[in-house]
Amino acid sequence: MDLASRPFVKMNGLGNEILVIDLRADPVEVSPQAARALARPGVLPFDQAMVLYPPRRAGTAAFVRILNSDGSASAACGNGTRCIAALEAQVTGADHVVFESEAGLLDCRVHADGTVSVDMGAPRFSWRDIPLAHDVGDTTAVMIEGFEPLGPASFVSMGNPHAVFFVPDAGAVDVAGLGAALERHPLFPERANISFASLAGPDEILLHVWERGAGRTRACGTAGCAAAVAGARTGRTGRTVRVRLPGGLLGIDWRPAGQGQGEGQGHDNGHVVMTGPVEHEFSGRITAAMLGEAA
């Protein structure tokens, strides 16, 4: 059985276009070429594909491989994780679902109102963890060569690399032009997600995002988390904020670091918990025509 016969579900999280392919019953590879073919306009355009494989650890629902629309891999996708959690809850009736990913375990809670909370883990700030090409000292606020007029960027890893610029008006920034150039700046050996943020209130951030491997998107969950963390690190906000993206609103709570209270969303463990809605668009089966030459 090849990929051309497999079922898919098209969803979105705040307009972040998500394609879900469940391969747990009979795993096959989804190649970068196949991902790019499916993402073509008029086929199944998506920002990220969440490909589900059999779990590797007891107590988890699936191992998730994440592909961007350009076929590159991503270790984390918050909006996509909310989508697959909602699907799993629909099938099993469980309101608590845990997935595995390259970024670690993804602990999800599905709420009665249809929103989903995802424990995105603890942010990382070391230049090696982000990663950056070299040591830049304190990653809270760093000038990037060639982009000094934007002011300093705050660097965060949420399982994938992020650079967050706080600007007077995020809506007035040339997101596509600056984002495309910054994504591939030599400082980022694995490229980076580029975000432009401004304060809409004491506990609300307005955010526009250029996603690594996907381009400008209506929402990015990990970027929302990174912006909230950057806001708290730079003293602009507290640790609990709303992040408003073109696609809608996310609630972000950066829990304080506790002293061994345990793991999970109910503990003060330094993790970032993201909450937001999901939407089911349509379902179907992948065809050879969709895959084109990648079939």
Which pLDDT tens digit goes with each residue over 201-238?
A: 889 999 999 999 999 999 999 999 999 999 999 999 99
Task: Quote the CA–CA distance of 11 and 240 in Å, as a whole number.
Answer: 27
Helices (H), the chain: 32-38, 78-92, 175-183, 221-233, 288-291
Catalytic residue among 83, 108, 220, 225: 220
Task: Please spell the DSSP secondary structure of 253-282, one letter per residue.
Answer: EEPPB-SS--SSTTS-BS-EEEEE--EEEE
Identify which of 33, 56, 35 has the alpha carbon closest to the alpha carbon of residue 44: 35
Task: Quote the CA–CA distance of 230 and 140 in Å, as a whole number.
Answer: 7
Q: Over the range 12-24, which residues count as b (16 or more CB within 10 Å of their CB) and which as e?
A: bbbebbbbbbbbe
* Amino acid identity for residue 92 in this structure: T
Instruction: Mark whether 108 is an active-site residue.
Output: no
Residue located via tokens 């060569």:
145
Which pLDDT tens digit goes with each residue over 64-104?
A: 999 999 999 999 999 999 999 999 999 999 999 999 998 88
- Spatial contact of 86 and 118, defined as CB atoms under 8 Å apart: no
Domains and CATH numbers, the chain: 3-115+280-294 (3.10.310.10), 148-260 (3.10.310.10)
Identify which of 183, 222, 223 has the alpha carbon closest to the alpha carbon of residue 207: 223
Instruction: Mark whether 220 is an active-site residue.
Output: yes
- pLDDT truncated to tens, each residue of the chain (295 aa)? 589 999 999 999 999 999 999 999 999 999 999 999 999 999 999 999 999 999 999 999 999 999 999 999 999 999 999 999 999 999 999 999 999 998 889 999 999 999 999 999 999 999 999 999 999 999 999 999 999 999 999 999 999 999 999 999 999 999 999 999 999 999 999 999 999 999 998 899 999 999 999 999 999 999 999 999 999 999 999 999 999 999 999 999 999 986 433 445 545 689 999 999 999 999 999 999 999 988 6
Pairing verdict, β 248-254 and 279-285 = unpaired
Identify which of 65, 67, 64, 13 has the alpha carbon closest to the alpha carbon of residue 38: 67
